[in-house]
Structure formats: structure tokens, C-alpha cells
């Protein structure tokens, strides 16, 4: 039996990961979350499973666990700009930095492997398109996104120092924009906003002129690469980009959602938030070669599944 601890386990990616890993009967899951942006509803179907345990805990504080832990997936952190900015900014940096420290200590004590969910935000406003892992980024250290970007950058450096100094087995992935079932309808990110607005018959809100780009990865593809990364050879530590290289402007995304839900919906333009990256697209050559992975789910199919999920959520069916 393998004991796997997942921080951020009730969040969007964490809950999808819990469900995938528990389907292997040799795995026991300890799901840790403070439920700030996550919710127990996301893992409700697992709560009666004897191989699943939920601990309400904020990883800013040290975590003492009696059981021997084999693997840690450190996913805890608010990830939507509207959840991590503003009054939660310092909390976000603490989650990235103190949270990573606490989890690295736990990994060291248990001689466990630990995976860090880093982010494409470490590249900031990228001057290299597409972004390769060797690119060092262009982050505004005093901007409103810095709490997240610099927090995640500092977490990466902590991971590599624990690896160099204490031989902790680390894995670092840089997650690009991801969407799919279990996203919070109030999450504030573009895919959930557009779909929920469209399903409610509201105007779609584009920030700026909509010419900025993102590359969207369906969550099942992401879960697959996260698990492959954890299972990879110990000497492959990353960082590795995990995302879908198919790039869309935000206007194209709005049109896709309109096409699928209601062609007559209007678009309203709102101010572009400060430091909102202009272009983002991963180079995934490393993931392809080292992990034999590439995304399989096309945006059209992924959107269909996500629309179906939000439809049920909005109608209160789940
Ligand atoms: N965005 C938008 N309308 C929305 C929400 C977001 O036009 O209702 C834009 C946002 O300004 C950004 C892009 O969509 O340029 C992706 O934003 P999101 O918050 O999803 O992710 P991130 O900025 O972290 O990549």
C-alpha cells in the first residue's frame, strides 16, 4: 500500500487527482486542504472510502502526520488571479513559501518523493514564445500578481535547495492554464466565467481587447502528466512544462463558447488587469521526450465536457 498526501486536495486539480489515484486499490490518500478555494463537495463521493482521509489544515502551519508517507503532491495555493490578489496576497505568498517549506520538511522526515505544482506564471510577461523551461522569465516583482508569481518562484528554489542539500526526491512541474470539471463556478478565470455567463444568458466579459492569448489544457490530460512525472526516474526532477500548446486569443475562446451555447450572446469589454500576460504558450518537448506525454483532448471536446459539468452545477444537480 502506498500512502499519498495531496495538499490542495479539495481544489479543482487536487480533487481530480484524488479521484484518479484512489481508483488504484494500492493507494491510500490523505487529502489536506483549508477549503479556502477548495470544497469538500468536490471529494464528497470519496469521504466514505476507507482508503481516503481528509484533514482540514492550512499548510502555512507545520503538519504532523503519524503515518509513513510515500509521496506528496503539493498543490495547495489559490490559483485564480481574483482569489490570490488583493486581501489574500500575503496569504498567497505564505502558502507558496511557508507551505512548501512545511511540506519539504515532511518529505525529508519521511524520505518521501514530493511534487511541486509550479506555474507558467514563473515566466511572467514572457519575452520568449513559446516558453521553454530554460527561460528565466520576466516577472514584475512589485506588481499585483507578484504574490503568486514570486511565491511560486521562491517555492521552486526551496525545492531545488532541499534536493541539493538534503537529497530530497523532488519533482517540479509548471502548470499552464487548465480547465474542466470541478472548477468553481465563482473561480473568476476565463473558461469558468465564459461558460457560466453563457449558460445564464449573460454577456461574456472580455478583459482588454481580447487579443491576449492562453493555451488551455483539459484537466484529465494534466492529471495524466502529473502522475507520470511522479513516477519518473528519481534523477528527472524538472522543471517541466505541463500544458497544451494550442494557443487561442481570448476573443477566439469567447467565440467558441458562444458557438456552443448561444450564438446571440453579447460580449462586453472590461479593463485589462495590471500585468496580465499578453501571450502564453508552453513548449512541451521535454514532457514529450521524458514523460512520453502530450495532451489528447481537443478544446472543443474539453469545452463540451466542461459545459455539461457547469450546467449540472448551475442547476444544483451536483
Ligand atoms: N479574462 C477575461 N475575462 C474573464 C476572465 C479572464 O477576458 O472573465 C482574461 C484575463 O484577463 C486573461 C485571460 O483571460 O488575459 C486568462 O485569465 P485567467 O484568469 O483565466 O488566467 P491567467 O490570467 O492566470 O492565465
Closest of 10, 3, 46, 17 to residue 173, by C-alpha = 17
Active-site residue, from 36, 73, 84, 148: 148
Specify the pLDDT at position 163: 98
CATH for 2-179+217-245+281-296, options being 1.10.10.10, 3.30.300.30, 2.60.40.420, 3.40.50.720? 3.40.50.720
Specify the pLDDT at position 317: 87
Closest CA to ligand 1's atom 16 = 190
Specify the pLDDT at position 177: 98
Contacts of 175 (CB under 8 A, 6+ apart): 13, 117, 118, 119, 120, 222, 242, 243
Q: Cell 506555474, residue?
A: 119
Rounded Cα gap, residues 197 and 191, in angstroms: 10
- For ligand 1, pick from 78, 183, 192, 207 the residue to mutate: most ligand atoms within 8 Å of CB: 207
pTM for the structure as a whole: 0.98
CA of 82 to the centre of ligand 1 (A): 10
Torsion 244-249-252-256 (CA) sign: positive
148 labelled catalytic: yes
Domain segments of the chain as ranges: 2-179+217-245+281-296
CB 96 within 8 A of CB 145: no
Task: Tell me the average confidence (pLDDT) per consecutive run of 10 residues in the chain, 318 residues long.
Answer: 98 98 98 97 97 98 96 97 92 98 98 98 97 98 98 98 98 98 96 98 98 98 98 98 97 98 97 96 98 98 98 91
Closest CA to ligand 1's atom 11 = 207
CA of 190 to the centre of ligand 1 (A): 5
Closest CA to ligand 1's atom 6 = 190
Specify the pLDDT at position 133: 98
Specify the pLDDT at position 197: 98
- For ligand 1, pick from 13, 214, 244, 267 the residue to mutate: most ligand atoms within 8 Å of CB: 214
CA of 121 to the centre of ligand 1 (A): 13
261, exposed or middle or buried, with CB in 10 Å at 0-12, 13-18, 19+?
A: buried
Amino acid at each position: 500500500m502506498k500512502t499519498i498526501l495531496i495538499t490542495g486536495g479539495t481544489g479543482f486539480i487536487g480533487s481530480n487527482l484524488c479521484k484518479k489515484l484512489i481508483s488504484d486499490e494500492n493507494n491510500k490518500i490523505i487529502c489536506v486542504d483549508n477549503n479556502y478555494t477548495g470544497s469538500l463537495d468536490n471529494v464528497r463521493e470519496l469521504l466514505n472510502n476507507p482508503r481516503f482521509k481528509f484533514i482540514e489544515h492550512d499548510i502555512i502551519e507545520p503538519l504532523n502526520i503519524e503515518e509513513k508517507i510515500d509521496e506528496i503532491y503539493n498543490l495547495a495555493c489559490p490559483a485564480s488571479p481574483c482569489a490570490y490578489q488583493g486581501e489574500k496576497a500575503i496569504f498567497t505568498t505564505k502558502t507558496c513559501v511557508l507551505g512548501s517549506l512545511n511540506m519539504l520538511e515532511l518529505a525529508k522526515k519521511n524520505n518521501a518523493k514530493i511534487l511541486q505544482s509550479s506555474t507558467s506564471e514563473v515566466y511572467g510577461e514572457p519575452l520568449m514564445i513559446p516558453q521553454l523551461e530554460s527561460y528565466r522569465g520576466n516577472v514584475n516583482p512589485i506588481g499585483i500578481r507578484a504574490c503568486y508569481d514570486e511565491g511560486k518562484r521562491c517555492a521552486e528554489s526551496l525545492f531545488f535547495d532541499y534536493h541539493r542539500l538534503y537529497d530530497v526526491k523532488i519533482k517540479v512541474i509548471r502548470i499552464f492554464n487548465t480547465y474542466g470539471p470541478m472548477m468553481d463556478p465563482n473561480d473568476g478565470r476565463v473558461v469558468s466565467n465564459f461558460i457560466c455567463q453563457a449558460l445564464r444568458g449573460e454577456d461574456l466579459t472580455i478583459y482588454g481587447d481580447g487579443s491576449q492569448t492562453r493555451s488551455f489544457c483539459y484537466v484529465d490530460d494534466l492529471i495524466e502528466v502529473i502522475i507520470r512525472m511522479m513516477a519518473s526516474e528519481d534523477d528527472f526532477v524538472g522543471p517541466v512544462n505541463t500544458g497544451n500548446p494550442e494557443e487561442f486569443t481570448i476573443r477566439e475562446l469567447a467565440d467558441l463558447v458562444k458557438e456552443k451555447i448561444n450564438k446571440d450572446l453579447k460580449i462586453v469589454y472590461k479593463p485589462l488587469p495590471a500585468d496580465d500576460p499578453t501571450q502564453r504558450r508552453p513548449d512541451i518537448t521535454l514532457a514529450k521526450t521524458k514523460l512520453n506525454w502530450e495532451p489528447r483532448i481537443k478544446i472543443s471536446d474539453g469545452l463540451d465536457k466542461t459545459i455539461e459539468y457547469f450546467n449540472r452545477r448551475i442547476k444544483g444537480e451536483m
